[in-house]
């Protein structure tokens, strides 16, 4: 068993930091002062959405508690909209920390995946989704958030 003496540091060049800076595109469904929600490009099911804080944090453990609280509030808000938009039977909501915990992008994020009775959860980082399909799904979630 190995363990790092120094905890890993936040890398501002991670892909979600680039999304926050507008350097790469994302299918955004919700944004406020503290958080951003957008479609996962390799969804584990239709409607797979990610919620991130705007404040830099590598994972749950180094996040500022106020930023974390804002993130959880956005997770609840977006999760309700995702469930409604996809008429899902349930939701799987999860969050990974460090490579050993399954994390592959090192800016804190929470996954929201709509679930349907009898349908297995898709593979983590399986395949890239079609851009138009992601745009359509983002539109559905934005409409649900707006109460349309
Ligand atoms: P993990 O860090 O293991 O919780 O997973 C990172 C997630 O980010 C995976 O589900 C990827 O499909 C997703 N992902 C990676 N790059 C992007 C991107 N540019 N836009 C949206 N989602 C992404």
In words, the CATH class of domain 15-116+128-145 is alpha beta
Q: Tell me how far the alpha carbon of residue 52 lies from the centroid of ligand 1, in angstroms.
A: 11
Is 109 one of the annotated active-site residues of the chain?
yes
Please identify, by atom number, the ligand 1 atom nearest to the C-alpha of residue 15: 19
Distance of CA 98 to the CA centre of its chain: 16
Question: Domain coordinates of the chain in residue numbers?
Answer: 15-116+128-145
Closest CA to 54 of 45, 46, 63, 42: 63
Q: Is a pLDDT exceeding 90 seen at residue 6?
A: no
How does 58-86 read in b/e, with b if 16+ C-beta sit within 10 Å?
bbeeebeeebbebbeebbebbbebbbbbb
Nearest CA to ligand 1 atom 22: 40
Q: Tell me how far the alpha carbon of residue 16 lies from the centroid of ligand 1, in angstroms.
A: 8
For 72-126, write each residue's pLDDT tens digit. Answer: 999 999 999 999 999 999 999 999 999 999 999 999 999 999 999 999 999 988 8
Q: How far is Cα 18 from Cα 16, in angstroms, rounded to an integer?
A: 5
User: Which residue out of 34, 48, 107, 109 is catalytically annotated?
Assistant: 109
């Amino acid at each position: 068993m190995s363990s790092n003496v120094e905890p890993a540091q936040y890398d501002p060049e991670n892909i979600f930091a680039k999304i926050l800076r507008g350097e790469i595109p994302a299918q955004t469904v919700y944004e406020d002062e503290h958080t951003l929600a957008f479609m996962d490009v390799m969804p584990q099911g239709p409607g797979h959405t990610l919620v991130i804080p705007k404040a830099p944090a590598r994972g749950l453990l180094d996040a500022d508690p106020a930023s974390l609280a804002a993130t959880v509030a956005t997770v609840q808000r977006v999760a309700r909209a995702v469930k409604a938009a996809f008429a899902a039977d349930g939701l799987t909501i999860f969050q990974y920390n460090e490579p050993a915990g399954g994390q592959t992008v090192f800016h804190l994020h929470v996954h929201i995946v709509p679930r349907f009775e009898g349908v297995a959860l898709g593979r983590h980082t399986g395949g890239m989704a079609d851009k138009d399909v992601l745009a359509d799904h983002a539109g559905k979630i934005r409409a649900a958030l707006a109460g349309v």
